[in-house]
Amino acid sequence: MTHTYQELVLDGVLVAPIVSYAVTALLLFLLLRPLLHLAGFAKLFSNPSLAELSLYVSMFGLLALFF
């Protein structure tokens, strides 16, 4: 069965689903950052920024897959 995507409609302007997923994932990621700091996420990786980017991409992918 093909996954259907809902377009966001802002006052008659259609927003592509990929944009809403990207923005939602970004907001969730920003909310997650203080927790990552508390957990010492940056100290676990030699390139923390790449690890954070990977986490964002994973969140974005999961959102697109399940919602």
CA separation (Å) from 2 to 5, 16, 30, 65, 66?
10, 18, 31, 11, 12
Q: Compute the distance between CA of residue 67 and CA of residue 65 in angstroms, rounded to an integer.
A: 6
Nearer to another protein, 27 or 42 (CB): 42
Nearer to another protein, 1 or 31 (CB): 31
Binding site for another protein (CB under 8 A): 33-34, 36-37, 41-43, 47-50, 52-53
Nearer to another protein, 2 or 40 (CB): 40
Q: Compute the distance between CA of residue 18 and CA of residue 20 in angstroms, rounded to an integer.
A: 6
Q: CB of residue 42 vs another protein: minimum separation in angstroms?
A: 5
